[in-house]
Amino acid sequence: MKRIFIAVKIIPGETLSGIISSLRAGLRSERINWTSVSNMHLTLVFLGNTQDDKIKTVSAILREGCQGYGEWGFSIRGTGVFRNFDDPRVLWAGIEPCDRLNELQGALVSRLRGSGFRLEERAFRPHLTLGRIRSVNNPDDLRSVVKKFSDIKIQDVNVSEVILYESILQPAGPEYLEIGKYGLK
């Protein structure tokens, strides 16, 4: 059994790297588990603990389901927190609305559900997790630092493939191993 998810890999450019550095510096007194830049990704579907034989099914669905989308792109814009500033849990960078991204994600979810996979029911809210917030000493600092980048265009991302990852939880943070890559052409 493996803990798996489907994602688009993100290679941070200069602006995204700079914003992450600024956030880390401005929030250094807060307890935040920061996402490693080498682990940056946009999750399309989280499947969780999955039997090995079912992973083969996921792979077949991705091979077929990704064909014909072609290369396209989206933009990363702004920063914020999930839950809210009074009870923050996740620090994120946002994704500008992108029909192609929503179509691909919806089609993959539909195919997976049609093959018997039980997936989360919550709406797709595309984002990059920059850090998981453990506790905040100064909520006003958090609000101020995050709002500084809340409406900045950060980076364009070109998408030509999706990746099936295994997530291995480690004390120092998760390790992501590529199980397969699936081209969109």
**Which residues are catalytically annotated?**
41, 127
CB 52 within 8 A of CB 2: yes
| Helix (H) or strand (E) run with residue 76 in it | strand 72-84
Token output for 162? 């999706």
Q: Where are the beta strands (DSSP E) in 85-116?
A: 87-95
CA quadruple 130, 133, 134, 138: dihedral, nearest 10:
130
Closest to 92 measured CA to CA, from 178, 10, 4, 175: 10
Give the C-alpha distances (Å, rounded to integers) separating 175 from 16, 36, 121.
21, 10, 26
Cα 164 to Cα 185: distance, rounded to the nearest angstrom: 17
Q: Give the closest residue to 42 by CA, choosing from 117, 87, 112, 100.
A: 100
3-state secondary structure at position 27: coil
